[in-house]
């Protein structure tokens, strides 16, 4: 998260960092300083929370006091709603970093007789600004004026005056508005806010909700144009920039052991590239979890941290099972080199899974991350979404030099080369494990389908899981027959 | 700027309290619009509520706190504090008939 003001544009457009994770990345530094930004979205998509977090982060991270003008919710309702995000508004109010101005407007209680202005609004705003020396303001939402008052021409004239006035005062404003039918906002507020327009969206597909954010317009600056998924949890907003991360991470030539001597040998003698992404595909019971565990054990034995994300088995079950093949994960687990994140895939949406995994990575700082298996997430969404999720996770891991090992479960009778939910093109090394029939026996065979940037074996080797560990044995080519 | 008209002496209230009117007029400075609203209100009260009204004029530029606590947005705003329920009228009160309806004086006057 950058806390500097970006001056990368020709006009040296000053920006105010929001302090909201991800938003400063996709806006290349924050919102236009001293100018209003429009945040549009339908009901329940997080406009109010975004506006509030903008003020809370401004107060806590940048010591910029802010005024929250609430037209809909009372201060008490507002505080209850954001308490779940871990914002202590009372504390900020006491420290003079936040002022909540509640504007109540109810058309049925008001009779309009003759000419009037909205000077009361201006006077109240000015008074609130002066009280705390506001640098930021959130207006949530001005559209209440349209339902509370009858004279629309007057409201529009006053809105124009209001935005001009806000700019003159040099406060950075976030103005929320309801999405319109075919327009950005229902009452056309975008007409007055020309500098920056952000749209929030909340969609439910396959009974799972995904929140998305998009910068529709940002005058005078480059910005990400994609829709970025975001999450609202106990830490507030998290926007996941996909392309903002780019492909500009360092690629090293450092190698990292797979934990299986025979497999290291197949991969040019020294294992995976550090910071690469590895996919192991195979049908049930072909040793994917065993290979993953060996990889984790080797990392922990080097004194590194490993994060094992288990979607199907409990940590105890994994540790018990791999002990039978001579891999003892328990010391690494008790000494907290090995961290398990065991969760049912159906427990959360894709975004939440990604968020919790990234959160754990940030906390644990592992050198290797294992996700076993990624196929559990298919039921969680459409393939394109799963692919997008992994693109982001892979980018994130590469940026941090973390080696990511993914396993993928192929259905019996399915071609394992075709069941990788579109992730295979994203990975650097792709290993396949499948059943072999030789001399009347059923064996496991492992081969490397691809491994970018290294000379690797093209053989199919017999994968033997015994109490002495995992070994890969060369098979005489004459005796080979694959089953499908 | 605080202006009283007529019944300044609250002890001399008529026995029927519901028939006594307390009206608060919120304005922003001494603008033409403010003065128009004050004059309009005074004229209406003289005619329709003689000796049973009290007008308080509040300049929210001098007392912005009041604008917040009393939920004033548009200016001028007239609030009927008594008799209950509270009624709110915004504008320069240029249409007497509608002010009377808004304040419910029309129905209440004998």
**Complex confidence, ipTM:** 0.83
| pLDDT on residue A479 | 59
| pLDDT on residue A21 | 79
Q: Name the residue facing A113 among B61, B65, B94 (closest C-beta).
A: B94
Q: Which long-range contacts (CB under 8 A, 24 or more apart) does A126-130 make?
A: A126/A169, A126/B64, A127/B64, A127/B65, A127/B67, A127/B68, A128/A67, A128/A69, A128/A99, A128/A101, A128/B68, A129/A67, A129/A169, A129/A171
A251 touching chain B per CB within 8 A = no
Taking chain B (110 residues) in consecutive chunks of 10 residues, what is each chunk's mean pLDDT? 45 56 94 94 93 94 95 95 90 92 69
DSSP sequence for A59-118: HHHH---EEEEESSS-HHHHHHHHHTTT--HHHHHHTTSEEEEE----GGGEEE-S--B-
pLDDT at A32 over 90: yes
Strands of the A441-451 sheet, one edge to the other: A338-342, A306-310, A368-372, A403-410, A277-283, A429-438, A441-451, A460-466, A469-474
Query: Which residue in B73, B77, B80, B81 has the most chain A C-beta atoms within 10 A of its own C-beta, making it the best mutation to test that interface?
Result: B73
Asked if A468 is an active-site residue, the reply is no
Residues A275-301, mean pLDDT to the nearest whole number = 92
| pLDDT on residue A241 | 58
Name the minimum distance, in Å, from the CA of A388 to any CA of chain B. 47
pLDDT at A6 over 50: no
Whole-number CA gyration radius for chain B:
13
User: What kind and span of H or E run contains A315?
Assistant: helix A315-323
Query: In this predicted model, which residue has the larger pLDDT, A409 or A138?
Result: A138
Strands of the B21-27 sheet, one edge to the other: A110-112, B87-90, B77-82, B21-27, B53-59
pTM: 0.70
| pLDDT on residue A348 | 61
Residues in Cβ contact with B26 at an 8 Å cutoff, skipping those fewer than 6 apart:
A120, B58, B60, B66, B67, B70, B72, B75, B76, B77, B78, B79
pLDDT at A246 over 60: no
Q: What is the DSSP letter of A411?
A: P
pLDDT at A18 over 90: yes
| Exposed/middle/buried for residue B25 (C-beta within 10 Å: 0-12, 13-18, 19+) | buried
Indicate the range of A153-167, A317-331, A399-413 predicted with least confidence.
Answer: A399-413
B37 interaction partners in chain A (CB closer than 8 Å): 114
According to the per-residue pLDDT averaged within each range, which of A216-220, A230-234, A353-357 is highest? Answer: A216-220
| pLDDT on residue A422 | 67
Indicate the range of A1-5, A368-372, B35-39 predicted with least confidence.
Answer: A1-5
């Amino acid at each position: 998260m950058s806390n500097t003001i970006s001056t990368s544009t020709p006009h040296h457009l000053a920006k105010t960092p929001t302090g909201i994770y991800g938003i400063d990345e996709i806006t290349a530094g924050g919102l236009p300083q001293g100018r209003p930004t429009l945040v549009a979205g339908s009901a329940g998509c997080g406009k109010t929370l975004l506006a509030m977090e903008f003020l809370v982060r401004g107060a806590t991270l940048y010591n910029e006091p802010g005024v929250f003008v609430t037209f809909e919710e009372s201060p008490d309702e507002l505080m209850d709603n954001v308490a779940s995000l871990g914002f202590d508004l009372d504390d900020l109010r006491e420290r003079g970093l936040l002022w909540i101005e509640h504007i109540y407007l109810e058309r049925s209680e008001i009779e309009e007789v003759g000419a009037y202005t909205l000077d009361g609004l201006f006077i109240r705003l000015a008074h609130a600004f002066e009280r705390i020396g506001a640098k930021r303001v959130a207006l949530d939402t001005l559209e209440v004026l349209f339902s509370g008052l009858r004279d629309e021409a007057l409201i529009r004239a006053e809105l124009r005056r209001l935005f001009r006035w806000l700019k003159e005062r040099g406060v950075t404003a976030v103005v929320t508005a309801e999405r319109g039918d075919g327009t950005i906002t229902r009452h056309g507020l975008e007409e007055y806010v020309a500098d920056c327009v952000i749209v929030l969206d909340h969609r439910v597909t396959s009974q799972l909700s995904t929140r998305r954010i998009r910068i529709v317009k940002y005058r005078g600056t480059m910005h990400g144009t994609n829709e970025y998924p975001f999450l609202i949890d106990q830490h507030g907003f998290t926007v996941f920039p996909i392309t903002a991360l780019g492909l500009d991470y360092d690629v090293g030539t450092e190698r990292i052991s797979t934990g299986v001597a025979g497999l290291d040998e197949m991969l040019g003698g020294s294992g995976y590239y550090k910071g690469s992404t590895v996919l192991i595909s195979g049908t049930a019971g072909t040793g994917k979890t065993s290979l993953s565990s060996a990889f984790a054990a080797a990392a922990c034995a080097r004194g590194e941290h490993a994060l094992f994300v288990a979607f199907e088995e409990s940590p105890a079950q994994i540790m018990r099972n791999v002990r039978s093949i001579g891999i003892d994960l328990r010391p690494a687990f008790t000494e907290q080199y090995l961290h398990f994140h065991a969760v049912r895939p159906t427990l959360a949406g894709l975004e939440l899974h990604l968020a919790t995994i990234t959160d754990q990575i940030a906390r644990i700082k592992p050198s290797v991350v294992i996700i076993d298996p990624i196929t559990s997430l298919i039921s969680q969404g459409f393939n394109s979404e799963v692919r997008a999720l992994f693109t982001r996770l892979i980018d994130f891991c590469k940026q941090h030099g973390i080696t990511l090992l993914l396993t993928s479960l192929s259905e019996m009778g399915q071609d394992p080369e075709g069941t990788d939910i579109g992730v295979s093109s994203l990975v650097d090394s792709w290993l396949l494990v499948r059943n072999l029939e030789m001399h009347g026996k059923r064996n496991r065979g492992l081969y490397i389908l691809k491994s970018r940037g290294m000379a690797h074996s093209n053989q199919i080797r017999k994968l033997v899981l015994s109490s002495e560990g995992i070994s890969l044995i060369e098979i005489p080519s004459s005796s080979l027959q694959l089953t499908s | 700027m605080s202006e009283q008209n007529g019944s300044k002496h609250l002890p001399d209230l008529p026995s029927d309290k519901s028939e006594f009117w307390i009206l608060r007029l919120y304005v922003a400075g001494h603008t033409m619009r403010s003065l128009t609203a004050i004059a309009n209100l005074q004229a209406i009260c003289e005619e329709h509520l003689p000796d049973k009204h009290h007008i308080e004029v509040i300049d929210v530029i001098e007392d912005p706190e009041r604008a917040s606590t009393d939920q004033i947005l548009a200016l001028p705003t007239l609030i009927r504090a008594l008799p209950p329920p509270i009624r709110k009228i915004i504008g320069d009160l240029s249409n007497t008939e509608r002010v009377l309806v808004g304040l419910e004086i029309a129905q209440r006057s004998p």
